[in-house]
């Protein structure tokens, strides 16, 4: 049990509000996704009691166990980690959102395997904006074709983009990478894709991401503590 989770959430929400006001965006337009990977169901229950409903997980099997243990709560689960082909069925059956789609093959499997009784899986495409050695994510060059193909799949709803930039040394460097992601996002919207989600910013770069147009920050450490 960690009695400070509620305090941490209040502090993070205040930081989001301040960053949002500084950037001139409408309060409430930046969503908070609590990244609960490695933390047990009790920590998620505490975060839910403090008002959060959306949780992000990286490791599929760990997540499925947690989702099952928390069926009594009205939670929304987001897959934010790499997905191997042999895990797509678990993801399609248990999650509400996936932020980490970066290949058409994975998207096709998710669409085929999404159970008919569930709403379409909400999807973001992970884009590798800075060419970092973390090789996950589609390149900016390949993004438009992948986005059009994913948008056409029947059981997926394409909502936007997700980025995980390499750690940067200065605020200006962080903002430059986030601005590039925002430009890719806006270009897809110009092409007519009805996107509303730019998933960027974590505990360390939340304010920089919001300043550059993030609509959803994924925060683990600042809520639950060091993993």
Ligand X SMILES: *Cc1c(COP(=O)(O)O)cnc(C)c1O
Sign of CA dihedral 17, 18, 23, 26: positive
Judged by CB under 6 A, the residue of 13, 29, 58, 173 near ligand X is 58
Judged by CB under 6 A, the residue of 30, 35, 79, 101 near ligand X is 35
151 interacts with ligand X by CB under 6 A: no
Judged by CB under 6 A, the residue of 202, 208, 209, 225 near ligand X is 202
Cβ nearer to ligand X, comparing 136 with 148? 136
13 interacts with ligand X by CB under 6 A: no
Residue in 156, 8, 153 with CA at minimum distance from that of residue 79: 156
CB of 154 to ligand X, least distance (A): 27
By rule CB under 6 A, what count of residues binds ligand X?
13
164 interacts with ligand X by CB under 6 A: yes
CB of 120 to ligand X, least distance (A): 22
CB of 44 to ligand X, least distance (A): 14
218 interacts with ligand X by CB under 6 A: yes
Residues binding ligand X (CB under 6 A): 35, 37, 58, 80, 164, 202-204, 218-222
């Amino acid at each position: 049990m960690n009695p400070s989770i509620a305090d941490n959430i209040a502090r993070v929400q205040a930081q989001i509000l301040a960053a949002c006001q500084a950037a001139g965006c409408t309060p409430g337009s930046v969503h908070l996704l609590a990244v609960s990977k490695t933390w047990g169901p009790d920590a998620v229950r505490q975060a839910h009691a403090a008002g959060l409903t959306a949780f992000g997980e990286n490791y599929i099997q760990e997540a499925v166990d947690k989702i099952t243990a928390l069926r009594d709560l009205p939670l929304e689960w987001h897959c934010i980690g790499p997905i191997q082909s042999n895990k797509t069925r678990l993801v399609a059956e248990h999650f509400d959102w996936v932020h980490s789609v970066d290949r058409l093959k994975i998207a096709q499997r998710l669409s085929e395997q999404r159970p008919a009784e569930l709403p379409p899986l909400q999807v973001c495409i992970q884009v590798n904006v800075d060419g970092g050695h973390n090789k996950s994510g589609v390149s900016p060059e390949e993004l438009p074709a992948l986005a059009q193909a994913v948008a056409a799949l029947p059981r997926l709803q394409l909502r936007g983009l997700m980025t995980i930039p390499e750690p940067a040394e200065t605020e200006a460097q962080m903002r430059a990478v986030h601005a590039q992601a925002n430009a890719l996002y806006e270009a897809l919207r110009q092409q007519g894709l009805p996107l509303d989600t730019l998933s960027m910013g974590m505990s360390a770069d939340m304010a920089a991401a919001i300043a550059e147009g993030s609509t959803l920050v994924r925060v683990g450490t600042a809520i639950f503590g060091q993993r």
